[in-house]
């Protein structure tokens, strides 16, 4: 096995999963959502109260500017609302709208179908090992930059 091809392999997996998700969104006539929004929506589905954007950034592990862009898009399409804290005008909170909350059943169905496709007949212990190893790869990449 050629272990030097991992980055290309990860890129192909990402591309294929995005195509499957986009196809499901089109089939369900869900507009304004792209696969990158999934982590933000998943976090918000678990919340019962508005949350600071900072909490979303921490939960999804993306940089603030990326999350802010996703939030603006989701707001523009009516899935979430943003507002400033009455106590501290520097704090911006977000919450799902009714339209956003209504996405949850489709989101869960698509997620379950995607995971079933990704793992196929892979035994649960292999699934766990894969997730652990990918976590290690992610941590390795977060720990520094390439030598000059």
**Tens digits of per-residue pLDDT, 44-90?**
999 999 999 999 999 998 999 999 999 999 999 999 999 988 888 88
Instruction: Report the C-alpha gap between 63 and 65 in whole angstroms.
Output: 6
Number of domains in the chain: 1
Domain contains 148: no
Domain contains 123: yes
> 94 lies in which domain range?
3-142
pTM of the model as a whole: 0.87
Q: What CATH number does residue 43 fall under? A: 1.10.10.10
Domain contains 21: yes
Least confidently predicted of 80-89, 107-116, 120-129, 138-147: 138-147
Please report the pLDDT score of residue 95 as a whole number. Answer: 96
Domain contains 125: yes
Please report the pLDDT score of residue 102 as a whole number. Answer: 97
pLDDT above 90 for 94: yes
Domain contains 147: no
147 CA to centre of own chain: 30
pLDDT above 80 for 145: no
pLDDT above 80 for 148: no
Please report the pLDDT score of residue 123 as a whole number. Answer: 97
């Amino acid at each position: 096995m050629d272990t030097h091809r991992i980055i290309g392999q990860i890129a192909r997996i990402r591309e294929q999963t995005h195509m499957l998700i986009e196809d499901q969104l089109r089939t369900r006539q869900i507009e304004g959502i792209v696969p990158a929004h999934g982590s933000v929506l998943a976090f918000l589905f678990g919340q019962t109260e508005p949350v600071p954007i900072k909490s979303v950034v921490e939960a999804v592990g993306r940089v603030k500017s990326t999350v802010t862009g996703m939030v603006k898009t989701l707001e523009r399409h009516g899935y979430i609302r943003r507002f400033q804290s009455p106590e501290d005008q520097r704090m911006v909170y977000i919450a799902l709208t009714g339209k956003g909350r209504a996405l949850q059943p489709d989101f869960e169905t698509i997620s379950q179908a995607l995971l079933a496709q990704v793992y196929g007949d892979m035994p649960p212990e292999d699934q766990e090992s894969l997730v652990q190893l990918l976590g290690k790869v992610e941590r390795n990449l977060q720990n520094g930059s390439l030598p000059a």
